[in-house]
Structure 1
Amino acid sequence: MAVLAGVLGLLVGSFSNVLIYRLPRRENIAFPPSHCTNCNHQLGALDLVPVFSWLALRGKCRYCGAPIRVRYPLVELATGALYALMAVVFPFSAVGASLLGLLVLMTLLLVASMIDADTRTIPDSLTLPGAALGLAFAVLNERTGASSAGLPSFPEALRGMLLGAGVLMLIDLLGSWVLRRFRERQYPDFPIGYQQVALATLVGAWGGVWWGVAAALASTAVNVVARRVVRVPDLLTLGGLLVSVAVASTGVGPGLILMVQNALAATGAAALIAGAYWWTQPEPADTGDDDAFDASAMGFGDVKLAAVIGAFLGWEQFLVALVVAVLAGAVLGVVQLAIWRENRLKFGPYLAIGALVALLFGQQLIHAYMNKLGL
């Protein structure tokens, strides 16, 4: 199974190169067929054998002699290695068809990381369907009994998706508010955006996730009817959240832990709804005015990638992934500063590293932590 998974990974890795190149450019991933990006000559079957074609052609196009980036065979080799590793760590005899979900996750993480490294963006066409696939495979986990191997059930995957997106979204909301020096947004989104997500956070903290989502949708409807942005001040929503947490810590309300969980889940749900809406809209024209945007502490693509990881791994292992991502970002960030005097990678690749570590060692790390606490 490891050998078969590795061979499959080489083939999927070849297709991953197509995704890495075409998704950021919003090109069709099926048509036209694979071709040289320099001379546009369509590639034949012998040009597309993973790794071996690159070696046989000595890294050059057969038709025009243009160099072929070494990254193409490296992506194929990495995908093959990750697929084989998953087949060893999660044998088919233990997880059954749920192994396919882990292979899909490896591809999503690798493709997202490479695109983020290239463009500092992560396409919605990768993350939003990826989160839905995570939920679908969670249903399969229940049917195959893979939950006993540490893979999440559907309720755990749904919770992981919402809380995963919610954690990073709330960091973005609060961090961006600080970067703006607690001033209100100058460029609120219409009809749904950060203000509606922040409203969901506050309402969700007190009323639960679905009341938070309902509040965000109600605010969106008001914007649509008014045909303009009816502002929801951050001082009310984010400031109100901080006050609510302070009040809950004294024992008032639903309790601090439940309030935080509900706020995060509502935040994640509203953020994914907003992301799905903007995914369906045409890309806004580039006005050339880089100042026509509010300061942002974190990319929205990272929020949706966190939803993918939470859906595939569940809430507890997502926390492990996040901690590892922060540590990896700190260590590798220092290395990059020493070499290039700048941090060239955004948070997406670090999240992918954290997800892989959590998948391989998450259960052991959680158990070790709980034992240390005596729980």
Structure 2
Amino acid sequence: MNADTLILLLAGIFGLLVGSFSNVLIWRLPRRESIAFPPSHCPKCDHQLHAIDLVPVFSWLSLGGKCRYCKAPINPRYPIVEAVTGVAYTAIAALYPVGAYGIAPLGLMFLFTILLAGSLIDLAVFELPDELTLVGVALGLLFAFLHKGVGVLPGLPEALNGALMGAGIIVLISLLGSWVMRRFRERQHPEFPIGYQQISLGLLVGAWFGPLAALIAAAAAMLVNMGAKKVVRIPEIITLGGFFLSLLLSSSGLGPNLIALLQNGLAGAGAASLLCGVYWWWANVRNRDSDAADDDTPGDPVAMGFGDVKLMAAIGAFLGWQAVLVALVVSVFAGAIIGLVMLAMKKGNKIPFGPYLAIGAVVALFWGEPIIQWYRGMMGL
């Protein structure tokens, strides 16, 4: 057995093991349970599982899909997640060989796990846990720093730009969609001390002064709210309206370059979004620990969940901003096709957007570069 074959074999085995751990994440994260304690146990009879019960895929097959102790059926999702992860890790190791990409394939494997586990959680509870999305952003930036942009993968500056652009694109869709849903009226329930008002501010400030200025503006607005102990309103007619007016002026030659203004605005909104996401995560953990969480807080209609914003930031951190665009286009087409199929089958179409983004990200992971090159050739770029 040569070294390349051995690496592929080890990648597949590693994928099977991580797939088993992914099942733990899928079950425990939505339930706010520790992923480490207690040890794995049957959800029906609560009997602790032993090593012989936890061999990926093979334990399920040998037991006939039933618990060894109470004979309750074991969800076939478990071996499917393990097998899919094993195959995907092997494919990543083949497409991004260690000899050429060093540590980078390990990061891409983690990205696949985030996408798979996040999608299944989102399908089950309509939620993308911060433990996957925000941690994914941090991991994407860490791996970009470690592998320094080897091959087609982004280095740290490109990964940071990808994270900001990814978050910014999705949050702009959400901001505009919710504004339309409110018939261009102001928010009735702005978040305290930071939320979509500060993100809209970051969009406008970032367009003119860059993402760092947007981050400072969003943080300053948050501190003003905290000092006033109430929401100091930032009218969206000024922030969102000002951003679109800026685009109009730029297209007329009266402002900065249109593309640069749009990119800076998206990156500014992304920076404010990640600040907001980190604060909300910290606040949720604090409230959960103090039993002070309030799930009945009223809110304005939203066009897309904020988990999608953070998931796209993680995708951008691992793959770069060009792959973000590939993932977004593919996710829209996948959503349309699956939606039409479900409509034809009269199954309804209540599926969160996270799994579609994951499909787009997987396409970008395996075929993103050929798609980008094809597009450039078609456009003569």
Quickly name the TM-score band, shorter chain normalised: over 0.9
Secondary structure (helix, strand or coil) at the match of 1:38 reads coil
Deviant stretches of 4+, over 3 Å: none
Whole-angstrom distance in 1 between the partners of 2:209 and 2:33: 43
Selected match of 2:349 from 329, 343, 356: 343
- Measure how far apart 1:306 and its partner are: 0.1
- Give the equivalent residue in structure 2 for 1:328: 334
- Measure how far apart 1:215 and its partner are: 1.2
- Give the equivalent residue in structure 2 for 1:353: 359
- AA of the residue aligned to 2:131: S
CA contact (8 A) 2:23 2:81 kept: yes
- Higher mean C-alpha deviation, range 354-363 or range 131-140: 354-363
Whole-angstrom distance in 2 between the partners of 1:37 and 1:262: 48
- Measure how far apart 1:133 and its partner are: 0.4
- AA of the residue aligned to 1:286: D
CA contact (8 A) 1:336 1:344 kept: no
- AA of the residue aligned to 1:212: A
1:51 aligns with 2:57: yes
- Give the equivalent residue in structure 2 for 1:302: 308
What TM-score do you get using the length of structure 1 for normalisation? Answer: 0.96
1:108 aligns with 2:121: no
Selected match of 1:196 from 180, 195, 198: 198
Secondary structure (helix, strand or coil) at the match of 1:64 reads coil
Selected match of 2:218 from 216, 219, 228: 216
- Give the equivalent residue in structure 2 for 1:285: 294
What per-residue deviation string (whole Å, max 9, x for no partner) do you get for residues 47-69 of structure 1?
A: 11111111111111111121110
- Measure how far apart 1:345 and its partner are: 2.1
- Give the equivalent residue in structure 1 for 2:33: 27
CA contact (8 A) 2:190 2:299 kept: no
- Measure how far apart 1:344 and its partner are: 3.4
* Residue correspondences, number: 368
- Measure how far apart 1:285 and its partner are: 2.4
Secondary structure (helix, strand or coil) at the match of 2:44 reads coil
- AA of the residue aligned to 2:150: S
Secondary structure (helix, strand or coil) at the match of 2:88 reads helix
Secondary structure (helix, strand or coil) at the match of 1:301 reads helix
- Give the equivalent residue in structure 2 for 1:207: 209
Secondary structure (helix, strand or coil) at the match of 2:267 reads helix
- Measure how far apart 1:341 and its partner are: 3.4
Residue segments in structure 1 that go unaligned for 5+ positions in a row: none
CA contact (8 A) 1:321 1:354 kept: yes
Whole-angstrom distance in 2 between the partners of 1:50 and 1:285: 39
Query: Identity rate of aligned residues, in percent?
Result: 58
Selected match of 1:70 from 49, 70, 76: 76
Whole-angstrom distance in 1 between the partners of 2:350 and 2:60: 27
CA contact (8 A) 1:176 1:296 kept: yes
- Measure how far apart 1:30 and its partner are: 0.1
Selected match of 2:101 from 95, 99, 103: 95
CA contact (8 A) 1:117 1:344 kept: no
The root-mean-square deviation of aligned C-alpha atoms, in Å, is 1.2
Secondary structure (helix, strand or coil) at the match of 2:231 reads coil
Q: Map of 1:205-244 to 2, 5 A cutoff? A: 205-244=207-246
